[in-house]
Amino acid sequence: MNMHVEVAATVPGAAPVATDAPAGDLDARAKRAAEIAGRHADAVDREGRFPAEAVAALKAERLFGIQVPVSLGGEGASMSEIAEVCAILGRACSAAAMVFAMHHIKLASLVTHGQDSAWHAALMRRIAGEQMLIASSTTEAGIGGDLRNSLCAVEAQGTGDGDTFRLTKEASVISYGAQADLILATARRHPEAATSDQVLVALLADQITLERTSTWDTLGMRGTCSDGFLLKAEGLPLVQVLQKPFAEIAAQSMLAASHLLWGSVWFGIASYAVDRARAFVQAEARKKPGQVPPGALRLAEAANELQAMKSTVVAGLARYEAAKGDPDALSAIGFSIMLNNVKTTVSVQAVDIVQRALSVVGILGYKNGTPFSLGRQLRDVLSAPLMINNDRILSNTANLLLVQKGSGKLLSA
Amino acid sequence: MVEISDIRDVLKSLESLKGVVDTLSDDDDLFEKGLDSFGSVQLMLALEERFDIEFPDSALGRRSFSTIRIIRDTVAGLRQQEAA
């Protein structure tokens, strides 16, 4: 019964959930998917393969469409609700959680900016109905990870009507590009456009060719399969190009969704590590009643930092939910600085927390295949400060701080 | 009085726009013409220096800097406030 009370409390207005939504609230659905993800996480990591079982479970639980508005066949889930699912998955399999987060980051762009385009509205209906997996192609050879610049361009084809286009992109990274049903790619608006005059193009898997140019063999996050590809599309309808400037899409939905959902994945990883450390210390304490185990102090520090990390993510989510739908608030400089700070802060905290937890559980954490193993989590979370390098983000913040004034208030922006 | 030509002068000092300023109409979206977030901060700094004003946080949105005409209006409004 409790479950139904929770649905009402956490999913306001979502009563007419898609008729085929699985049983239970989002938490219950996420936990079932996480259980499957966790079972295969070590194999995914060891073999550096796509978390296919986890993704199949996420589709079975219909979690890929939750962000799509109810009017388009989804469940209208909020960023906070999606963040909670990311954290639940992050505890089980970082790669599966990251795939889920990246999918919803792209979907946020469609939901925020694509609803007035009939083609993109129909696409969202398909995403909810068919549980399509969306990948992102922003990184490009010659540009690197600089989201806000592109070299490749949308080239209108045909002399007369010009209603189709061609796109060739040297995409040096497309996470799970080979497994995605849909890729949202950045490109210059036309071949003469400035590198920062970008649009977002929706490309269905069966409309493009992908030639693999590099393989993702990494320290951690091995299951995201972020291979490099030469992406080619030819003769596609121009309606698939979102006409809104990508600069606005990036500022108003993508950056916020990225930092908040990644932060939630990292929180999941860190909270799992602290739970392992806590279980370890409690077992020690039970063995020697009357004594405080030596790792207890380190555990207290890790728990302390986990709480600070959680507060930062939750405050960021609250600021986002409050600003949502207000383009001025979302593109304000103070808002960008806040989001940048969330990312740089929690990405460093997550690494630190997992390392502290490892020092608590000691050799049993260092060793693979024990109930306290934290090697995979540590390797995975080390990507956090590098995935959009914190130095790049700090430089951006430093630039913005040249003009920001700040309110000095505690409870408001 | 803040003239459109004053704003154009300031824009010409920006790396990201200096080549195209003369081709811009007063209502072209500068962000579509190559202004990026780094450039927009440099633009704000240049305007603050040139017109001896300070943009409040509320004026630091994208919209206040999207076209030459809007920049002129924003700057003129701030100058009036500071004079009052």
Q: What's chain A look like in SS3?
A: CHHHHHHHHHCCCCCCCCCCCCCCCHHHHHHHHHHHHHHHHHHHHHHCCCCHHHHHHHHHCCCCCCCCCHHHCCCCCCHHHHHHHHHHHHHHCHHHHHHHHHHHHHHHHHHHHCCCCHHHHHHHHHHHHHCCCEEEECCECCCECCCCCCCCECEEECCCCCCEEEEEEEECCCCCCCCCCEEEEEEECCCCCCCCCEEEEEEEHHHEEEEEEECCCCCCCHHHCCCEEEEEEEEEEHHHEECCCHHHHHHHHHHHHHHHHHHHHHHHHHHHHHHHHHHHHHHHHHHCCCCCCCCHHHHHHHHHHHHHHHHHHHHHHHHHHHHCCCHHHHCCHHHHHHHHHHHHHHHHHHHHHHHHHHHHHCHHHHCCCCCCCCHHHHHHHCCCCCCCCHHHHHHHHHHHCCCCCCCCCCCCC
The number of beta carbons lying within 10 Å of the beta carbon of residue A366 is: 15
pLDDT digits (tens, 9 = 90+) for A305-331: 999 999 999 999 999 999 998 888 888
Residue A285's pLDDT band (boundaries 50, 70, 90)? Answer: very high
CB contact under 8 A, B37 and A194: no
Question: Searching chain B, which residue's CA lies closest to the CA of residue A189?
Answer: B32
- pLDDT at res. A7: 36
Architecture, CATH, for domain A2-132: Orthogonal Bundle (1.10)
CB contact under 8 A, A396 and B41: no
Is A405 in the B-facing interface, judged by CB distances under 8 Å?
yes
Residue A263's pLDDT band (boundaries 50, 70, 90)? Answer: very high
pLDDT digits (tens, 9 = 90+) for A33-46: 999 999 999 999 99
Give A-chain residues touching B62 at CB under 8 angstroms.
247-248, 251, 327-328, 331
The number of beta carbons lying within 10 Å of the beta carbon of residue A282 is: 13
- pLDDT at res. A405: 84
Residue A408's pLDDT band (boundaries 50, 70, 90)? Answer: confident
Q: Is-contact A203 A229, C-beta < 8 A?
A: no
Question: Searching chain B, which residue's CA lies closest to the CA of residue A395?
Answer: B38
Q: Which of the following CATH numbers is that of domain B4-83: 1.10.510.10, 3.40.50.460, 1.20.58.2030, 1.10.1200.10? A: 1.10.1200.10
The residue that leads in pLDDT, A233 or A10, is A233
Could you state, in order of their start, the residue ranges of all structural domains in chain A?
2-132, 136-242, 246-400
Q: Is-contact A165 A238, C-beta < 8 A?
A: yes
A53 has a pLDDT exceeding 80: yes
Q: Which of A2-6, A75-79, A221-225, B69-73 has the lowest mean pLDDT?
A: A2-6
Which residue reads 């990251």 in tokens?
Answer: A98
Shortest distance, CA B80 to any CA of chain A (angstroms): 20
Q: Which whole number is the average pLDDT over A179-206? A: 95
Shortest distance, CA A355 to any CA of chain B (angstroms): 35
CB contact under 8 A, B57 and A406: yes
Residue of B16, B29, B57 lying closest to A404 (CB–CB): B57
- pLDDT at res. A197: 87
Q: How much is the ipTM here?
A: 0.85
**Percent share of chain A, pLDDT over 90:** 81
A72 has a pLDDT exceeding 50: yes
Residue of B44, B54, B57 lying closest to A334 (CB–CB): B57
Which residue reads 């005409």 in tokens?
Answer: B69
Q: Which of A341, A400, A404 is nearest to B57 (CA)?
A: A404
What value does the mean pLDDT of chain A take?
A: 92
Shortest distance, CA B24 to any CA of chain A (angstroms): 14
- pLDDT at res. A216: 97
Q: Which of A263, A226, A234, A236 is nearest to A99 (CA)?
A: A226
Residue B1's pLDDT band (boundaries 50, 70, 90)? Answer: confident
Inter-CA distances, A18 with A65, A85, A103, A145, Å:
10, 18, 20, 37
Cα separation, B35 vs B16, whole angstroms: 6
Residue A12's pLDDT band (boundaries 50, 70, 90)? Answer: very low
Residue A8's pLDDT band (boundaries 50, 70, 90)? Answer: very low
- pLDDT at res. A162: 60
pLDDT digits (tens, 9 = 90+) for B4-58: 999 999 999 888 787 888 899 999 988 777 787 778 889 999 999 999 999 888 7
A9 has a pLDDT exceeding 80: no
Cα separation, B51 vs B72, whole angstroms: 11
Q: Which CATH class is domain A246-400?
A: mainly alpha
Q: Which of A20-29, A94-103, A159-168, A352-361 has the lowest mean pLDDT?
A: A159-168
Give A-chain residues touching B61 at CB under 8 angstroms.
328, 331-333
A2 has a pLDDT exceeding 50: no
A18 has a pLDDT exceeding 70: no
Question: Searching chain B, which residue's CA lies closest to the CA of residue A243?
Answer: B32
- pLDDT at res. B60: 78
Which residue reads 């408001």 in tokens?
Answer: A412
Could you state, in order of their start, the residue ranges of all structural domains in chain B?
4-83
A387 has a pLDDT exceeding 50: yes
Structure tokens at A3: 């479950």
Structure tokens at A193: 């456009």
CATH topology for A136-242 is Butyryl-CoA Dehydrogenase, subunit A; domain 2 (2.40.110)
- pLDDT at res. A20: 67
* Amino acid residing at A22: P
CB contact under 8 A, B29 and A245: yes
Give A-chain residues touching B28 at CB under 8 angstroms.
none
